[in-house]
Structure 1
Amino acid sequence: MLCLLDFDSAAPPEQAWRRRLNSHANILKEFSVTFMEAIKMIFISREGGNKNYASVLAPGQHEGLGKSGDQGISSWGWNLSGQHSTYHALFPRAWTIYDGEPDPELKVSCRQISPFIPHNYRDSSLPAAVFVYTLVNTGKERAKVSLLFTWANSIGRISHLSGDHVNEPFICFLPLYGCCRTAKGNPPVTFAIAACETQNVSVTVLPCFGLSEGSCITAKDMWGTMVQDGQFDRENFNSGPSMPSSPGETPCAAVSASAWVEPHGKCTVAFALAWSSPKVKFSKGSSYHRRYTKYYGTSERAAQNLVHDALTNYKRWEEEIEKWQSPILKDDRLPEWYKFTLFNELYFLVAGGTVWIGTYHY
Structure 2
Amino acid sequence: MIAQRSRPEIPDCAWSRPIGLGWEKPYTVRYASNLDDGPWHGMPLGGFGAGCIGRSSRGDFNLWHLDGGEHIFRNLPACQFSVFEETADGKTQTYALSTEKPADGSLAAWQWYPASRETQSTGRYHALYPRSWYVYENVFQTQLTCEQFSPVIPGNYQESSYPVGIFDWTVHNPTDEPITLSIMLTWQNTVGWFTNGAASPEIEVRDDGSPVYDYQPRWGESTDNFNRWIENNFRVGCLMSRLSTHEIPREGEGQWAISTVANPSVEVFYHSRWNPEGDGDVLWQTFATDGTLGDSEDETPAAKGEQIACAIAVRFTIRPGRTRKIPFIIAWDFPVTEFGTEPASYYRRYTDFFGRNGKNAWAMVRTTLKHSDTWKESIQAWQNPILEREDLPNWFKMALFNELYLLTGGGTLWTAADEQAPVGHFGVLECLDYRWYESLDVRLYGSFGLLMLWPKLEKSVMRDFAKAIPHQDDTPRIIGYDRVNQITPLVPVPRKVVGATPHDLGAPNEHPWEKTNYTSYQDCNQWKDLPCDFVLQVYRDFKLTGSTDLEFLQDCWPAVVQTLEYLKTFDRDGDGIPENAGAPDQTFDDWKLRGVSAYCGGLWIAALESAIALGKILQAKATESVTPDPQTAISTYQTWLDQSRPIYQEKLWNGEYYRLDSESGSQVVMSDQLCGQFYAQLLDLPDVVPTDCAKSALNAVYQACFVKFNQFAQNSERNGLKPFLGAANGVLPDGTPENPNATHPLEVWTGINFGLAAFLWQMGMKTEAFELTESVVRQVYEQGLQFRTPEAITASGTFRASHYLRAMAIWAIYGVIEGF
TM-score range (shorter-chain normalised) is 0.7 to 0.9
Contact 2:16 2:127 in 1 (8 A): yes
Tell me what 1:63 maps to: 103
- Is 2:177 aligned against 1:137? no
Contact 1:5 1:134 in 2 (8 A): no
- Is 2:312 aligned against 1:255? yes
| CA shift for structure 1 position 175 | 0.6
Tell me what 2:125 maps to: 87
Contact 2:251 2:338 in 1 (8 A): no
Q: Which of 406, 413, 427 is equivalent to 1:355? A: 413
| CA shift for structure 1 position 5 | 8.2
Distance 1:158 1:54, change over 3 A: farther
Tell me what 2:370 maps to: 312
Tell me what 1:45 maps to: 86
Q: Residues 119-155 of structure 1: CA distance to partner in whole angstroms, max 9, x if unpaired?
A: 1111111100110111111122211100010111114
Tell me what 1:68 maps to: none
Tell me what 1:54 maps to: 94
Report the residue type matching 2:391 in the other structure: R
| CA shift for structure 1 position 202 | 2.3
Q: Which of 208, 218, 223 is equivalent to 1:163? A: 223
| CA shift for structure 1 position 290 | 1.3
Report the residue type matching 1:168 in the other structure: R
Q: Which of 7, 11, 14 is equivalent to 1:13? A: 11
| CA shift for structure 1 position 353 | 4.0
- Is 2:327 aligned against 1:270? yes
- Is 2:217 aligned against 1:178? no
Q: Secondary structure at the match of 1:359?
A: coil
Contact 2:18 2:124 in 1 (8 A): yes
- Is 2:255 aligned against 1:190? yes
Q: Which of 20, 23, 28 is equivalent to 2:41? A: 28
Contact 2:84 2:290 in 1 (8 A): no
State the TM-score, normalized to the length of structure 2: 0.39
Tell me what 1:334 maps to: 392
Tell me what 2:680 maps to: none
User: What is the alpha-carbon distance in structure 2 between the residues aligned to residue 37 and residue 352 of structure 1?
Assistant: 25
User: What is the alpha-carbon distance in structure 2 between the residues aligned to residue 356 and residue 13 of structure 1?
Assistant: 30
Tell me what 2:289 maps to: 228
Contact 1:280 1:287 in 2 (8 A): yes
Q: Stretches of 4+ moved more than 6 A in 1? A: none
Report the residue type matching 1:226 in the other structure: F
Q: Secondary structure at the match of 1:121?
A: coil
Report the residue type matching 1:16 in the other structure: A
Distance 1:158 1:261, change over 3 A: farther
Contact 2:170 2:326 in 1 (8 A): yes
User: What is the alpha-carbon distance in structure 2 between the residues aligned to residue 201 and residue 11 of structure 1?
Assistant: 25
Tell me what 1:282 maps to: 339
- Is 2:396 aligned against 1:346? no
| CA shift for structure 1 position 60 | 4.6
User: What is the alpha-carbon distance in structure 2 between the residues aligned to residue 20 and residue 179 of structure 1?
Assistant: 32
Q: Secondary structure at the match of 1:80?
A: coil
| CA shift for structure 1 position 228 | 2.3
RMSD of aligned Cα (Å):
2.5
Q: Residues 230-267 of structure 1: CA distance to partner in whole angstroms, max 9, x if unpaired?
A: 12244x4xx3x611111221101111111111112111
Q: Secondary structure at the match of 1:112?
A: strand
Report the count of equivalent residues: 340
Distance 1:94 1:314, change over 3 A: same
Tell me what 1:75 maps to: 109
Contact 2:20 2:115 in 1 (8 A): yes
Larger Rg: 2
5+ long unaligned stretches in structure 1: 66-71
User: What is the alpha-carbon distance in structure 2 between the residues aligned to residue 28 and residue 272 of structure 1?
Assistant: 21
Percentage identity across aligned positions?
27
| CA shift for structure 1 position 194 | 0.4
Distance 1:193 1:159, change over 3 A: same
Q: Secondary structure at the match of 1:160?
A: coil
Q: Secondary structure at the match of 2:416?
A: strand
Contact 1:152 1:253 in 2 (8 A): yes
Q: Secondary structure at the match of 2:364?
A: helix
Contact 2:21 2:115 in 1 (8 A): no
Report the residue type matching 1:302 in the other structure: N
Report the residue type matching 2:323 in the other structure: K
Q: Secondary structure at the match of 2:220?
A: helix
Contact 2:242 2:254 in 1 (8 A): yes
| CA shift for structure 1 position 317 | 0.6
User: What is the alpha-carbon distance in structure 2 between the residues aligned to residue 267 and residue 303 of structure 1?
Assistant: 27
Report the residue type matching 1:181 in the other structure: M
Structure holding more strand per residue: 1
